[in-house]
Amino acid sequence: MRTLILLVAVGAVYAQDGASRGDWTYHGGTQLAWRYSALDQINRNNVKKLAPVWAFQTGDYEMGLQVTPIVIGGVLYLSTSRSQVFALDAVTGRLIWQFKYPLPRGTVPYGPQNRGVAVGGGYVFLATYDNYLVAIDQKTGEEGWKVNLDDTRQCGCTITAAPLVVKDKVIVGGAGGDSAHRGYLTAVNMKTGRVAWRFYTIPAPGEKGNETWKGDSWRYGGGATWMTGSFDPALNLVYWGVGNAAADNDAGPRFSGQGDGANLYTASVVALDADSGKLKWYHQEVPKDVWDFDSSYECLLIDREVRGRMRKLLVHINKGGYAFVLDRETGEYLNGYPIVDNHTWTSGLTEDGKFIGRVEPVAGKPTPGRPGPRRTATRWTPTCAPGRRTTRTAGAAACRRWSPRWPPRSCRTRRGAR
């Protein structure tokens, strides 16, 4: 962890454009996804004097408030799990307008969740949990246009991530990598709502990478894009993390054993041309993922001197407990760092970024491990105390002995929507 923090801090010396200042205009602060503000009015000496000024109740409490608000020109834009949007005066908390999205009938896969909106071109863009992208007038809160991106009843998918505004387009991913679903990214023209391009994270027959899939498993192989990506305007490249392959713990039906990589482009970072959506490069972090250690998370873009010359870098963390550093122009692997003390499924990384000593679950056979408490912002797994034995089988996970200090309520897996 210390190594990664040092890396980001040193990178900040060379690339200041990734810091937000007066406004928070993107999900990651800026398109480079630093999530860092350069404002210095609040510091270590006066932070203890902070006090609440106003509070606003959305009235939508299911699955919690997961959103990162957007703040532009003194207006705060906020969305809720059930795809309701509010524009507030950021100073007073006064409601400026509210957009009431009609609730879908019946159930929606993974439940209602939303992580935020995007703003650009005079619109506030909302991706809904029943797979619509809606353009809302930034000043009035009135609907400008709405486009359906998928049929929830057929795909078993949903959208939970905030969209990303890139030039004249809005790009949005989707959740559903644990279902019989083929992941994708969709770019929509921000003025008209027409789909500009779609990139599937799993190649079809005839496309490079399809040979890494067995038979027709590519049709329902997962690879969800359930978080928000990044964009480098200078390179005109969009970067996105891709989720796990399906089914999570059983690679037998999907792993072909052919090609470079396994089940491409799942558990990878992909770089796409912003105008066409064509793949420029990829780096697969966890080939043949059977632990649900996917790579959907944000891609942080920094510039730093590496071995005597300036490099454009991408720093990325996945569920496997490692941070990866790539050249974001070429996808070249430069380094990897452990970010946790105890890795239960691998013993380390080689110099070219390959995992060694992997522990693989085998269908029908228990696989012992010694995990400690593990929790991420979007995924919970059975939790045991350090030193306690667990048994993990393909398709199931169960704790055999609990910690007397922190007993889970039940021995089950609770899945947050991707």
Residue 250 clears pLDDT 70, i.e. is over it: yes
Mean pLDDT across 282-301: 91
Range ranked top by mean pLDDT from 55-69, 79-93, 346-360, 381-395: 79-93
Residues 270 and 412 occupy one common structural domain: no
Query: How many CB atoms neighbour CB 97 within 10 A?
Result: 17
Residues 246 and 108 occupy one common structural domain: yes
Q: Are residues 68 and 29 in contact, defined by beta-carbon separation less than 8 angstroms? A: no
| DSSP track, 239-261 | EEE---BSSTT--TTTB---SSS
**Each residue's pLDDT tens digit, 339-380:** 998 888 888 999 999 999 888 877 677 766 534 444 333 332
Residues 107 and 158 occupy one common structural domain: yes
Question: Partners of 313 in the beta sheet?
Answer: 302, 327
C-alpha span between 11 and 408 (Å, rounded): 40
Whole-number pLDDT of residue 101: 94
Residues 103 and 217 occupy one common structural domain: yes
Q: How confident is the model at residue 3 (pLDDT cuts 50, 70, 90)?
A: very low
Residue 209 clears pLDDT 80, i.e. is over it: yes
Q: 323 in helix, strand or coil?
A: strand
Range ranked top by mean pLDDT from 129-138, 170-179, 361-370: 129-138
**Each residue's pLDDT tens digit, 359-370:** 887 767 776 653
In a domain, 118, yes or no: yes
Mean pLDDT across 246-254: 80
Residue 248 clears pLDDT 90, i.e. is over it: no
Whole-number pLDDT of residue 418: 54
Q: Are residues 262 and 197 in contact, defined by beta-carbon separation less than 8 angstroms? A: no
In a domain, 384, yes or no: yes
Q: Are residues 171 and 162 in contact, defined by beta-carbon separation less than 8 angstroms? A: no
In a domain, 47, yes or no: no
Better-scored residue on pLDDT, 403 or 134: 134
Whole-number pLDDT of residue 327: 97
Domain limits for position 137: 2-41+59-354
Residues 90 and 17 occupy one common structural domain: yes
Residue 204 clears pLDDT 70, i.e. is over it: yes
| Number of domains, the chain | 2
Residues 366 and 349 occupy one common structural domain: no
Residues 367 and 245 occupy one common structural domain: no
Residues 266 and 294 occupy one common structural domain: yes
Here the CATH number for the domain that contains residue 269 is 2.140.10.10
292 among known catalytic residues: yes
Residue 71 clears pLDDT 80, i.e. is over it: yes
Residues 261 and 369 occupy one common structural domain: no
Residues 130 and 207 occupy one common structural domain: yes
In a domain, 51, yes or no: no
Percent of the chain with pLDDT over 70: 83
Whole-number pLDDT of residue 369: 52
Mean pLDDT across 309-329: 95
Q: Scan for tokens 């999900």, then name that residue.
A: 27
Q: Are residues 34 and 19 in contact, defined by beta-carbon separation less than 8 angstroms? A: yes
Mean pLDDT across 245-266: 83
Catalytic residue among 292, 294, 327, 352: 292
Better-scored residue on pLDDT, 408 or 310: 310
In a domain, 54, yes or no: no
| Backbone φ and ψ of 146, nearest 5° | -145, 135
Q: How confident is the model at residue 283 (pLDDT cuts 50, 70, 90)?
A: very high
Residue 304 clears pLDDT 90, i.e. is over it: yes
Residue after which a domain boundary falls, among 336, 354, 372: 354
| DSSP track, 124-161 | EEEE-TTSEEEEEETTT--EEEEEE---HHHH--B--S
C-alpha span between 215 and 381 (Å, rounded): 31
In a domain, 298, yes or no: yes
Whole-number pLDDT of residue 292: 86
Better-scored residue on pLDDT, 347 or 329: 329
Better-scored residue on pLDDT, 163 or 151: 163
Which 8-state DSSP code applies to residue 12?
H
Residues 275 and 376 occupy one common structural domain: no
In a domain, 250, yes or no: yes
Q: Are residues 123 and 169 in contact, defined by beta-carbon separation less than 8 angstroms? A: no
Residue 401 clears pLDDT 90, i.e. is over it: no
Better-scored residue on pLDDT, 218 or 177: 218
**Each residue's pLDDT tens digit, 16-55:** 478 998 899 999 999 999 999 999 999 999 999 999 999 9
**Each residue's pLDDT tens digit, 49-70:** 999 999 999 999 888 889 999 9
Residue 397 clears pLDDT 70, i.e. is over it: no
Whole-number pLDDT of residue 373: 43
Residue 393 clears pLDDT 50, i.e. is over it: no
In a domain, 46, yes or no: no
Mean pLDDT across 268-282: 98
Residue after which a domain boundary falls, among 300, 327, 354: 354
Residue 289 clears pLDDT 50, i.e. is over it: yes
Whole-number pLDDT of residue 379: 33
Residues 270 and 404 occupy one common structural domain: no
Whole-number pLDDT of residue 333: 97
Residue after which a domain boundary falls, among 319, 354, 389: 354
